[in-house]
Chains A and B, each alone.
Chain A
Amino acid sequence: MGQTMIEKIMQKHSNEDAEPGKIIWIGIDVRSARDFGGANVVKNMNTYYPGEKVNDRSKTYFTFDCNVPANTIAYANNQHICRKYAKEQDVRVYDVDAGIGSHVMIEEGLLAPGETGVGTDSHLNILGAIGAFGQGMGDQDIAFVFKAGKTWFEVPETVRIDVEGDLPANCTARDLTLKTVGTLGTKTALGKAEEFFGSAIDKLDLSGRITLASMATEMSSIIALLQPNDLVLKECGAARGSPVQGIAPDADAIYSGNVTVDIGGLKPQISRPGKPHDVVDVETVNDVQVDSVFIGSCTNGRYEDIKAAADVVKGKRIKSGVFGSVVPATRRGYIRLMKEGVLETLMDAGFLISNPGCGGCASGQIGMTGEGQVQVSTSNRNFTGKQGAGFTYLASPETAAASALLGRIATKEEVK
């Protein structure tokens, strides 16, 4: 019987049959804890396995990204607890300067297509972007994996999503992503894996794939898996320092449902405040005045995303009274943006640039929204209170940049 991508990956990591609905043991290639949840993982380790070693130190990591560098004593304490434990265990810490853990894993080649990773980050399923299985879990579950090197999963069913049409020139991977989130809502793929097909998907670069995969969580999906193309395999191979293999579903794989997302004639998309899946065309809300703009996060914080925003604002100034901030996802991305003068372009336009990490998505790091304040953000969540007391719209870096220039929600085509 044919298998979907998730079934194949789980099968490769288990000696039981990976059939949907069945609970099986799965070997985990990469185990991580971030500064959120990490200290509790350490506490569990010390409670249940005092004095013992982690299962495999070369596969175990701490990644700090939530609050970097710590601006509360609680986070500073937690990071310090993790660092001390890491030293005892001789495991690697990607410290407060490294960037968003899931991105670091891809950039450093810690995880390759077809492999498995777990961590205390609810968006670790972003690893579906390279055709790998990633999953966020609670601190007890992660402590168990630190010790056991494996964990159990109920093999999920898979929903097949066919994206029809080509991405119009004025749209980006983020618009495609938002269209998909709006179409599926939070029920269609609840508790299931998603697999994407279509020529527009095949053409997506790694950055676009990360954007799409990062919003599986907002569709209540376990993971959105994308079959790596040659470009992605090359990039992952370079990161690892040795060639990597792709993973593909069988032609006769069985899907529990089929959804078609038509992107022919797509217009730039935006989520209205409160619900990521409340998605409309940008032009329907382009009279909304904007107070602040944030460009970054695991969804749109890559080099390519920030470069795209810079291209929109080049030689122009943010509207007076609007606050704009940019946070590259990783240190490596930051260095490249700096060397190529992209950060300079953004600073000249009036943006504040902060150090790499989740800043702007995890609340508080580079400012929150005040009551009544309207923000356009490139992050993945806009639940009430997540980024402060104001109202957050979610859109592409291009739309965010254009909105900063015009002081109202706008597409890049409206920038003269």
Chain B
Amino acid sequence: MTVYKGRIWLIFEDGQLMDDIDTDMIYHNKYLAITDKSQMGQYTFDNLKGYEDFAKKAQPQDIVVVGANFGSGSSRQQAVDCFDNLGVTCILANSYGAIYKRNAINSGYPILTIKELDISALSTGDVVSIDTDSGTMEKDGLVIGRTMPLSTVQKDILAAGNVFEYAKGL
């Protein structure tokens, strides 16, 4: 059983989870020369309107909640790695850009997809727990949302660490 527990960040725009956050808003291209993962976290979302100070305020184990088509745009791996470097536990989105999904799954970074979520029951800073096996998301012992089941692919790679580690076991 895998449970992700942490403080949530609701990334909002006009009172709704923000859609179409592209890789330049997540990790701007001016930092692409950086290859050391430990230097990436500090720039997370610094080009996302309203969340420029995210990296300063984020704490290990936080969970980021966003809307549809998260990570559209370029193929930069940094847009995944920056969250890992900050210690962000996982990302929860309505959907993901195709390349972002490939990069996140291959690097063994947990991304979860929302099936249903009662946003009105939540505020940024609330502590929630997500059980990826049952797909339930709870706050104070009450179910406030559901996530899509993880594919066997994603489970296999998460268990191994990343796609390259996974292949070693084959």
Instruction: Report Cα–Cα, A25/B152, bound state, in Å.
Output: 8
Min distance, Cβ A223 to any Cβ of chain B, angstroms: 14
A residues 136-157 touching B (CB-CB < 8 Å): 138, 140-141, 143-144, 147-149, 152, 154
Please provide the chain B residues from 141 to 170 with a CB less than 8 Å away from any CB of chain A in the complex. Answer: 151-154, 156, 163-164, 166-168, 170
Contact partner, B170, options A23, A44, A138, A147, Cβ 8 Å: A147
- Does A191 sit within 8 A of B, measured CB to CB? yes
Is B92 an interface position by the 8 A CB rule?
A: no
The answer to whether B102 touches A24 (Cβ under 8 A) is no
In the complex, how many residue pairs between chain A and chain B have their CB atoms under 8 Å apart? 44
Contact across chains for A144 and B153 when beta carbons are under 8 A apart:
no
Mark contacts of A12-36 with chain B using CB atoms, 8 A cut-off: 1 yes-contact digit, 0 otherwise.
0000100000111100000000000
Take A23-B153, A24-B153, A138-B75 as given contacts and tell me if A191 and B98 are in contact as well, using a CB distance cutoff of 8 Å: yes
Map CB proximity to B onto A180-197 as digits: 1 under 8 Å, 0 otherwise. Answer: 000000000001000000
A16 with B168: CB separation less than 8 A: no
- Contact A141 to B106, CB < 8 A, known contacts A23-B151, A49-B167: yes
Contact residues of B between 113 and 140, Cβ < 8 Å to A: none
Quick check: B153 and A148 within 8 Å, CB to CB? no
- Chain B minimum-CB-distance residue to A143: B164
Residue numbers in A under 8 Å from B102 (CB-CB)? 141
Contact B101 A144 (CB under 8 A): no
> Does residue B105 face the partner (Cβ distance < 8 Å to A)?
yes
A191 to B166, CA, bound (A): 26
Given contacts A141-B102, A154-B98, contact A48 B164 (CB under 8 A): yes
The minimal Cβ–Cβ distance linking A193 to chain B, given in whole angstroms, is: 13
Residue of B whose beta carbon sits closest to that of A26: B153
Closest to B170 in A: A148
B154 interface neighbour in A23, A44, A191, Cβ under 8 Å:
A23
> Which residue of chain A has the shortest Cβ distance to B149 in the bound complex?
A22
CB distance from B76 to the nearest CB of A (A): 12
CA distance A143 to B151 in the complex (A): 22
CA of A149 to CA of B167 in the docked complex: distance in angstroms? 9
Residue in contact with B151 in the complex, picked from A22, A55, A144, A147, CB distance below 8 Å: A22
CB closest residue in chain A, given B168: A49
Q: Which residues of A contact B156 (CB under 8 A)?
A: 25
Nearest B residue to A138 via CB reads B75
Report A-chain residues with C-beta under 8 Å of the C-beta of B151: 22-24, 152
- What is the distance, in angstroms, from B102's C-beta to the closest C-beta of chain A? 7
Which listed residue (B75, B101, B168, B170) contacts A154, Cβ 8 A? Answer: B101
- The residues of B that contact A148 with a CB separation of less than 8 Å are 166-167, 170
CB distance from B134 to the nearest CB of A (A): 19
Contact A25 B170 (CB under 8 A): no
Bound together, the chains give a CA A24 to CA B150 distance in angstroms of 11
Closest residue of chain A to B75 (Cβ to Cβ) is A138
In the complex the two chains form, what is the Cα distance from A49 to B152 in whole Å?
23
Which single residue of chain A is at the shortest CB-CB distance from B102? Answer: A141
Chain A proximity of B14: nearest CB distance (Å): 25
Residue of A nearest to B169 (CB): A148
* A residues 1-60 touching B (CB-CB < 8 Å): 16, 22-25, 44, 48-49, 55
- Bound-state Cα–Cα, A16 to B168, Å: 22
> Which residues of the partner chain B approach A191 to less than 8 Å between Cβ atoms?
98
Cα(A138)–Cα(B98), bound, Å: 13
List 26 interface pairs A-B (beta carbons < 8 Å), by A numbering: A22-B151, A23-B105, A23-B151, A23-B154, A24-B151, A24-B152, A25-B152, A25-B153, A25-B156, A48-B168, A49-B164, A49-B168, A55-B170, A138-B75, A140-B163, A143-B164, A144-B106, A144-B163, A144-B164, A147-B164, A147-B170, A148-B166, A148-B167, A148-B170, A152-B151, A152-B153
Which B positions have Cβ atoms within 8 angstroms of A? 75, 98, 101-102, 105-106, 151-154, 156, 163-164, 166-168, 170
9 tightest Cβ-Cβ pairs between the two chains A and B: A23-B151, A152-B153, A48-B164, A148-B167, A147-B167, A23-B153, A144-B163, A148-B170, A144-B167
